[in-house]
A and B are shown apart, each in its own frame.
Chain A
Amino acid sequence: MNVPWRDLGTVMMVALFLGGGVIVLYAIGVRVLSPASADGESAGRPTPLRIAITSLCFAVCAAAVGYGIYTLL
């Protein structure tokens, strides 16, 4: 009986790096887009630079989702 350790390791690595990576990148995107004042409320509209950084983060997340769907095909 061959327990598929290699495949389980692959699932673990993919989940950690792809899944964890998407979570962290999305969180960074939300963080950059949501500057806060001292009381934790929104500190106005985000600057164009913040919007650009967030867009980049979200685009990488979207690409990772697209790759995930592609692996099924």
Chain B
Amino acid sequence: MDTLVIVVIVTALAFDFTNGFHDTANAMATSIATKALRPRVAVAISAVLNLVGAFLSVEVAKTISSGLVDDAKITPAVIFGGLVGAILWNLVTWLVGLPSSSSHALFGGLIGATWIAAGGDAVNFGTVVTKVIVPAIASPIIAGAVAATGVFLLYNITRRAARRRTREGFRHGQVVSASLVSLAHGANDAQKTMGVITLVLITAGVLGAGSGPPLWVIFTSGLAIALGTYFGGWRIIRTVGHRLTKIEPQQGFAAETSAATVILASSHLGYPLSTTQVTSGAVIGSGIGKKLSEVKWGVAGRIAIAWGLTLPAAAAIGALAGRVAISGTPGVLIVAGVLVALATTFYLLSRRNKVDSHNVNDEPTAPKPRSKAAVTSRYAR
């Protein structure tokens, strides 16, 4: 295996790590918000179940390694460019706390890099539409509709039940439903990296065309996404858990159950859908089911814009990175250097306004207005 292939595999695992911490919110945001689970316990459970989920299926991995782009027309350097596009978009959206789709970032990056390197013919646009874009639009709507219906029925059924015991009952239920989402996330999202690494091995001639992922690829992908999940994307957890709608245990349970069902059914059929969009759709649905006005539509709108931008933005970054990377080893080194520099910058920027397991449930506060005396003294200096 040559050095470039190893660099691309390491970059793919780095993407998998960002996918893990970017998407921790999918499974655990509502359980953390309703205090069904302590933040650190929640991410630990989610990490373990993501690892287990990675071993359950390879249907989605096969779709990625043999469906989106023509593997005969691309090289490991092209895939490297695509991964860089996906990682950078994931980091930007994490920094601003937006639950955008890691999957669409990955697809966008790969499509952009492939298009610039091998032309539009190398991208299977039919597969992109039928297996990515249509499920991307339909899946959050389905999850939202099921969650809204479920929440409406659930509140009516438990209207005359003892309030405290009901909340406790749904808190316990949330532990199971959140765990199921984690498992489904591992099954769906870890496979995307498996698919990319398999694609690299096919383009490098290590595996034959149409091969599935080897066991070591399944294990390392599962481990990377589990580590990322344990790291915890606290900024996005706060957005999904507190800023979209005020969530009660009943809503959290319904949202997670709906999301898990949609993800599991789609994974079974081999659709690499965005677990982020499904869970965000389900959380919004859980707000609609209780009371329409409870959803903060401004935040939901910003998230929807981020969803729409993810594929083209990651494609643009992927195209740029791919264009530089295919020029040879110096190009790959330049792209890798830029990636490390930008990732470090984003990390340092995030430290200015740190969100972690200790303050993830704190209500966001508006900046304090300066007192007249402070302003006067500042200008007097």
Contact = CB atoms under 8 A, between A and B. Distances in A.
B154 A35 contact: no
B262 A16 contact: no
Contact of A28 (B146, B157, B269): B157
A8 B133 CA distance: 12
Name the residue among A3, A34, A71 with the largest chain B CB count within 10 angstroms: A34
Given A15-B261, A19-B260, A30-B166, A36 B134 contact: no
B265 A11 contact: yes
A27 B158 contact: yes
A42 B158 CA distance: 13
Given A35-B162, A42-B162, A69-B183, A30 B265 contact: no
B contact face: mostly helix, strand, loop, or mixed: helix
B139 A11 contact: yes
A19 to B, nearest CB: 3
Nearest to B158: A31
A68 B256 CA distance: 14
A28 B150 CA distance: 12
A73 interface: yes
B161 A35 contact: yes
Q: Is the interface of A mostly helix, strand, loop or mixed?
A: helix
A24 B156 CA distance: 10
A44 to B, nearest CB: 10
Interface in B153-191: 153-154, 157-158, 160-166, 169-170, 173, 176, 180, 183-184, 187
Q: Which range holds the interface residue count of chain A?
A: 35 or more
Task: Place the interface of chain B in its size category.
Answer: 35 or more
A24 B261 CA distance: 14
A2 to B, nearest CB: 6
Contacts of A43: 162
A12 interface: yes
B130 interface: yes
Nearest to A67: B264
Interface string A17-29: 0111011101111
Given A68-B264, A72-B187, A24 B150 contact: yes
A33 B169 contact: yes
B142 A11 contact: yes
The 6 closest A-B pairs by CB, nearest first: A19-B261, A23-B150, A30-B169, A42-B162, A34-B165, A34-B161
Given A16-B149, A42-B164, 10 more contacts: A4-B130, A7-B271, A11-B269, A14-B265, A15-B258, A23-B257, A30-B173, A41-B163, A72-B57, A73-B56
Interface of A: 1-4, 7-8, 10-12, 14-16, 18-20, 22-24, 26-31, 33-37, 40-43, 65, 68-69, 71-73
30 contacts: A1-B129, A3-B130, A3-B134, A4-B271, A8-B135, A8-B142, A10-B269, A11-B265, A14-B265, A15-B146, A19-B257, A20-B146, A20-B150, A22-B261, A23-B153, A24-B150, A26-B253, A27-B154, A27-B158, A31-B158, A31-B160, A33-B169, A34-B169, A35-B161, A36-B161, A40-B162, A41-B163, A43-B162, A72-B184, A72-B187
